[in-house]
Amino acid sequence: MKTSARRLGSALIAVAIAGGVAACSSADSSGDTAPAEAGGGAYAIWDPYPQFDDGSAWVKLLTRCGTDAGVTVKRTGYDTTDLTNKALLAAQQDNSPDVLIIDNPVISTLAEAGALTATDETKLDTSAMEPNLLGAGQIGGKTYGVPIGANTLALYYNKELLTTAGVDVASVKDWPSLTAALQKVKAKGKKGITFSAIGTEEGSFQFLPWFWGSGAQLTALDSPQAVSALTLWTHWLEQGYAPNSIINNTQTTSWQEFAGGGFAFAENGTWQLANAEKLDFPYGIIPVPAATGGTAPAPTGGEFVSIPVQSKTGRYATSAKLAACLTSPDNLLATDTTLSYIAPVAAVQDKQVAADAKLKIWVEAVKAAKGRTGDNLGTRYPKISEPMWTAFQAALSGGKSPQEALTAAQSTAVAATR
C-alpha cells in the first residue's frame, strides 16, 4: 500500500498539535537510525523517550520483546515534536519504522494521512484496553494502535492552607463547593487556585476538564454549558481566587507557583508526582470536580503503540507481536510506573493502586478521561482548540464577555472545520 504524497504533504503542514502534557525530555537522540529493510531480521522501533539510554529498563524491554518475536530491535528515541515530523516524512518516502510509539493526539493526523495501519488489518488485539483511552486512537470507526498508558489532570492541594482556612477537602464535590473553599482561603489572606490558561494547546488542555465538566461538547463552543465553564474561570480571576499570572502560565510555571506554598489548589498532571514528593508542605490530590458533582472528564495524554504502513505487508505479523509484547499486562506495570502513567488496562490499574495507594485518585481521573481527538473529531480538533483558547484568553483579559468570546470562537471553528 502506497500513501499518496498529497495527503502526506498536507499532513506535514498540519502536524503542529502541541501536546498538553509535560514532555518527557527535549534531549536529542543519539543519532538517526533508519528503519530496517523489509524482510530482514531487524525491526525498527521509534519512540518519544530519548531520555532512556541503552541500559535503561525501557530499552531492555524493547530488546526482550524483539528476542521473543525472533528478531533484532533497532530502536531510536526522538523528541515528541521531532518524532511526528520524522514519522510523516518517513511515510512519504515509504521508509517508516515497523513500530511507532506516538503521542495520542497525533494518531488522527497520521491515520488521515494514510501513514498508519488499522488494528483490524494487523490483528492487534485491543480488547483489554479501557474504551475511553482507546478512543484517542480511533477515527472513522477504525482503531490505529494500542495505548501504552495515560496521564491526565487533577487538583493538587496544600493541606496546611486548607486546614488554616477551615476547609474540609472532602466537602469539595462540585463547582459551588470548590468556589466556596477558594473564598475561605482568600479570606485568610492566602491564594486560591493556580492553573495554565496560556493561549496555546497547553491552555486548552487545562480548560477541557471544566469545559467537559459543564456538559459542553467541542462541536458547540458557545453552548450555555460552555459559557458556564468560562464564566467560572473569569469569576475566579475577578474575585482574586486565581492570579493574573494564569493568562501566561504554562503547566510548569503554575506548578512552580503551587510549589512555593502560597496556593491552596493547583490543576496539574500525573507527571508532577515526583515533584510533589519534594514539596515543603503536605499535599493531597482530588479529581477535578464536574459542575454538579462527580469527576469531570479530563483530557488524556500518553502514547499509542502503532504499526505504520509498510509496502511489504508480510512484516505486520511480527510488528504486531512487538506491539502486543510492549502493551501486555506483565510489561505495562513496570513501563507505566517508569513513565508516571496510569495503565490502560483495568487489572494493571488495580496493581498500580495496590503498590501505591496515592495512585487511586489518578486511576479515578483516568477512568473518567477522554481523548481530545475522540468523538470522531480527528484532525478537526486543533481547528476547534485554537478558537477555544483564543476565547478564554479574550475573556480572562477582559476584552470580551464569556458569551461574546465563545460565540466568536464557535463561528471561527465552524468555518475552519467545514
203-232 pLDDT, tens digit per residue, is 999 999 999 999 999 999 999 999 999 999
% of the chain at pLDDT higher than 90: 86
Mean pLDDT for the stretch of residues 303-329: 96
96 with 40: CB under 8 angstroms?
Answer: no
pLDDT at 9: 47
Please check whether residue 373 lies inside any domain of the structure.
Answer: no
Cα gap 182→303, rounded to integer Å: 35
Element (H, E) at 187: helix 175-187
Cα gap 405→27, rounded to integer Å: 38
* DSSP conformation class of 352: H
Residue 197: pLDDT over 60 = yes
Mean pLDDT for the stretch of residues 183-187: 98
Mean pLDDT for the stretch of residues 391-412: 98
* pLDDT class of 357 with cuts at 50, 70, 90: very high
Beta-strand ranges (E) seen in 280-346 are: 283-286, 303-306
* pLDDT class of 339 with cuts at 50, 70, 90: confident
Mean pLDDT for the stretch of residues 364-389: 95
Query: How many structural domains does the chain have?
Result: 2
Residue 25: pLDDT over 90 = no
**Do 187 and 232 share a structural domain?**
yes
**Do 327 and 283 share a structural domain?**
no
Cα gap 242→151, rounded to integer Å: 24
Cα gap 207→392, rounded to integer Å: 9
Residue 4: pLDDT over 50 = no
Structural domain containing residue 14: 5-150+302-368
Cα gap 153→20, rounded to integer Å: 10
Please check whether residue 282 lies inside any domain of the structure.
Answer: yes
Q: Is 131 exposed, middle or buried (0-12, 13-18, 19+ CB in 10 A)?
A: exposed
Judged by average pLDDT, the poorest of 12-16, 316-320, 329-333, 390-394 is 12-16
Specify the 3-state DSSP secondary structure of 335: helix
Q: In the Cβ-directed half-sphere of 315, how many Cα atoms lie within 13 Å?
A: 25
**Do 36 and 77 share a structural domain?**
yes
Q: 72: which residues sit within 8 A by CB, 6+ positions away?
A: 41, 42, 43, 66
Specify the 3-state DSSP secondary structure of 190: coil
Residue 261: pLDDT over 80 = yes
Please check whether residue 317 lies inside any domain of the structure.
Answer: yes
Q: Which phi and psi angles does 101 have, rounded to 5°?
A: -105, 115
pLDDT at 416: 96
Cell of 224: 450555555
The CATH number covering residue 386 comes to 3.40.190.10
**Do 334 and 262 share a structural domain?**
no
**Do 311 and 215 share a structural domain?**
no
Please check whether residue 55 lies inside any domain of the structure.
Answer: yes
Cα gap 121→304, rounded to integer Å: 17
Residue 343: pLDDT over 70 = yes
Mean pLDDT for the stretch of residues 284-299: 97
**Do 163 and 290 share a structural domain?**
yes
Residue 30: pLDDT over 50 = no
Q: 165: which residues sit within 8 A by CB, 6+ positions away?
A: 181, 184, 185, 187, 188, 190, 264
| Residue with the three cell numbers 498529497 | 6
pLDDT tens per residue across span 143-181: 999 999 999 999 999 999 999 999 999 999 999 999 999
Residue type, 282: P
Residue closest to 339 by CA, chosen among 202, 148, 205 = 148
Cell of 414: 465552524
**Do 79 and 114 share a structural domain?**
yes
* pLDDT class of 295 with cuts at 50, 70, 90: very high
Cα gap 166→169, rounded to integer Å: 9
**Do 396 and 290 share a structural domain?**
yes
Give the relative orientation of helices 360-368 and 346-355 as an angle to the nearest 10 degrees.
160
**Do 331 and 291 share a structural domain?**
no
Q: Which phi and psi angles does 193 have, rounded to 5°?
A: -145, 145
* pLDDT class of 264 with cuts at 50, 70, 90: very high
**Do 60 and 124 share a structural domain?**
yes
**Do 14 and 125 share a structural domain?**
yes
Distances (CA, A) of 299 to 238, 282, 341, 366, 384: 26, 27, 14, 9, 15
pLDDT at 97: 98
Cα gap 179→185, rounded to integer Å: 10
pLDDT at 7: 53
Residue 80: pLDDT over 90 = no
**Do 242 and 101 share a structural domain?**
no
pLDDT at 19: 44
Residue 27: pLDDT over 70 = no
Give the distance, in angstroms, between the CA of residue 117 and the centroid of all CA atoms in the same chain.
Answer: 22
pLDDT at 338: 85
